A = this chain, B = another copy of it.
Amino acid sequence: MHRVAVIGAGGFAGALGAAIVQRHPSLELTAVTARSDAGIRHDDLYPRYRVPLVMEEFDADGVAERADAALVAYPHGAAAPVVKALRERGLKVVDLSADFRVSRELYERWYQPHEAPELLDEAVYGLTETHRDAIAGADLVAAPGCYPTAALLALHPLRDVAIDVVVDAKSGVSGAGREATGTTHFVSVAENVNAYKVEGHRHRAELEHELGELRITFTPHLLPIDQGLLASCYVTAKQDVDVEALFEEAYGDEPFVELAATPPGVRDVRDTNRCRIHATVEPATGRILVFAAIDNLWKGAAGQAVQDLNLMLGLPETEGLA
């Protein structure tokens, strides 16, 4: 049994991470920490996850005594110092924030000054389907953002032929985090849908980092659902391609990618670590359409993080994941 701590277990992604670790047959959840919820039992805050532990204040030494690895689910900026402290104490870390996903230059352009740039070299981008081998050998993995996860899985098989891409992405509200704001108020969201950050969302940094030079538009929308994310991708290719073959080649053996004959709904993957994809060519235009659905808290956050952790610890990649 590998001993695992979850740092930031009061937020949506960290809370699910704790739940997945708790049920995992080869992992032992030894500590959960929280910033504002320290002192509260996790299963009082999230009854359905049934993690019977009291959340603690974060203390690097205390965590290091009890854990061999950690999931860190702090907001960007707050994560870097914690990750650094845990790495200094020898823990393998999967960080769910943006802090170690991209180059220092891209990070500082979209976010803020980086607080632990010296760790960027060892950090591996945690999208298993495209960086599996590097993840398996890594001590620090940066789990991708929810939007990039869906978009990158949709676009990866087309990386050599795509020249112009529109990603119209739609996410449930849990992606906005647990903070109560005007944006997350039920009355703002119910019976509503809207685009946001249309002049440039920070997740764009990851897309640029992973896809390189490409004319890509990325527009997020907020949906009146709690969990789920759909990336609708519109791709102009520089040449005719056999879309079905490209996706089959890329994902035919992937345990968490499903190729579907019809456009996926986010319900199809709810509470699972799956990405369900439908790719087709629009007859009228020849444009390639790819629809990728994930659960933003699972494959888009905590599930992906445990998938990474499984690899890092030498466990079967799918263990403990639905």
Contacts and interface: CB of A to CB of B under 8 A. Distances in A.
B291 A193 contact: no
Contacts of A200: 282-284
Contacts of A198: 263, 278, 280, 282, 289, 291
Copies, count: 4
A228 interface: yes
Contacts of A180: 180-182, 184-185
A224 interface: yes
A193 B170 contact: yes
A260 to B, nearest CB: 7
A194 B280 contact: no
A248 to B, nearest CB: 18
A195 B269 contact: no
A231 to B, nearest CB: 11
Contacts of A168: 166, 168, 232, 234
Contact of A266 (B194, B230, B272): B194
Contact of A217 (B215, B221, B268, B289): B289
Contacts of A48: 267-272, 274
A12 interface: yes
A26 interface: no
B232 A284 contact: no
A174 interface: yes
Given A181-B180, A200-B283, A186 B173 contact: yes
Given A192-B228, A225-B193, A285-B216, A12 B269 contact: no
A312 to B, nearest CB: 26
B187 A12 contact: yes
A187 B174 contact: yes
B226 A223 contact: no
A132 interface: no
Interface string A135-159: 0000000000000000000000000
A202 interface: no
A194 B265 contact: yes
A199 B283 contact: yes
A33 interface: no
Given A196-B263, A219-B232, A224-B225, 16 more contacts: A47-B276, A164-B236, A166-B234, A170-B170, A180-B182, A180-B184, A180-B185, A184-B187, A190-B226, A191-B227, A193-B223, A194-B291, A195-B230, A217-B284, A217-B287, A223-B223
